[in-house]
Structure 1
Amino acid sequence: MTGMVKTARALVAVAALAFSATAFAAEGEAPHIEKQQWSFSGPFGTYDRAQLQRGFKIYKEVCSSCHALKFVAFRNLAQPGGPGFTEEEAKVIAAEYTVTDGPNDEGDMYERPAVLADHFPSPFPNEQAARAANGGAYPPDFSLLAKARAAHRGFPAFVFDAFTQYQEQGPDYIYALLTGYEEEAPEGVEVPAGQYYNPHFLAGKTLAMAPPLSDELVEYTDGTPMTVDQYARDVSAFMMWAAEPKLEERKKIGFRVMAFLVIFGSLLYFTKQKIWRKVDH
């Protein structure tokens, strides 16, 4: 009887979880986001260095005029697991930026070229200036956006995600957003002045950011197609790295831990079998 009660309670809990997840999805009207193929997906996935460098180029030439990258330092560009720039290349990139430092001996702040230890400077001095330059909208920082933005998958998808190790909701969402702008909204949908219709936008279907990408906007020298689709993939991958620069190291450690547990568990099992083999159970 006790077992039946526990089973009934478990079924009720699962049903409640499913209902709450479905209700949340319906209330938020979460957009459907297609899963994309990424080199860094799965337990053995790794970043594509060339893609990260292209994504950084997109950020630098297109996105950095509005979006900050305050948690990423220039030295990170040359660290293991990153875009694969050399230290000298990272120094050259840093020198192209100006940062505020000080105070000096006279007590004044001053500007100087950035060095490897500096973080990427914000394009605006403060949030008020950012909003004033963007019609009241505040461009979010790019550092953690790939981990902070993700469409709600609902039940039972999020349960399967735990077993399939699907962790790419963020870059999937960013890619969908960048490629999801539509020139005309569906009938019955009103787009406010200064807004753009994008059915993939989580906070509604209209946003203040104009379509940032267009074909042949940024020049690639490695033969990669210069299309909106490719640009969106590259910058999404770069943002994933910015949000999780230790992804490859984490996966390596996880694999070693799992291998150790399997070996250790096997040793314990065979040891138990040897010690207790002559004991009746």
Structure 2
Amino acid sequence: MITLFLLLTGLIAAVVGSLVGLGGGIIIVPMLIFLGIELNMLEGITPQTAIGTSSMVLVFIGLSSIISYNRSKQVDIKNGMYFIIGAIPGAFLGSYTSGLFTIDSMRIYFGLFIILVSFILIFRDKIKPSRMFQNEKYIKPHTDGKGEVHYYGFPPYIGIAGSFIAGFTSGLFGVGGGALMTPMMILLFLMPPSIAVGTSMFIVFFSSLGGAMGHMFQGNINYLYAAVLIPAAYIGAKIGVRINRKFSSDAIVTALRVVLLLLGLYMIVQGFS
């Protein structure tokens, strides 16, 4: 039964995460805490092991997504290289900062973070993209898999600073960083959503790698649970990419907004109870 729960968690988290560029940890971490701490169905789960194990799983979700998205040229690797300069050290630092969490404080802060993500998803389509970082010397073309050429760009130092913050949240909460980077790329760097989602998973891979290394050094990864989650997550990521290509993700995003908002409120209440 436990194996089935973990397989379903990995599959669903990866489908949703790769579909909208979130990564999937925003589902994996609460589920590990719920199964391990609240239901006592998993042994050895602490806030740190939930975060560390999620970071390890996200490495494979990111890898699977990169391979699939890159086939249709939805990954902007050139600009993505700037992002990983900030994301990797940010995630490594975040992984050590997560050691300060108690179970109650983790629930509260993670709950607040989830609510923030839900509001980002709610208002993402209502906020007009800003051209404040658009400068002719940074704007370059990117041709997608359909042959369409898109022009956008950003100052490298802004991309590095933004990805450092996203990477820090990745290591801190085990979420991959895509929750912050995807809207940042769309609203501030004017990337088309399809390219932003693919590039976000590129960042998720490297930020999760940095976070997983930090958590591995601290002994925060449960390799048994990760071994069950990873195959399901790898397959789920490929399914999410296929759904992204064939259908609009609007319905999924709408449902996800509500689920994340309720989940965030639940975790905050549990943290204070």
TM over 0.5: no
Query: Which is bigger in relative contact order (C-alpha 8 A, separation at least 6)?
Result: 2
Q: TM-score, normalised by structure 1?
A: 0.27
Q: TM-score, normalised by structure 2?
A: 0.28
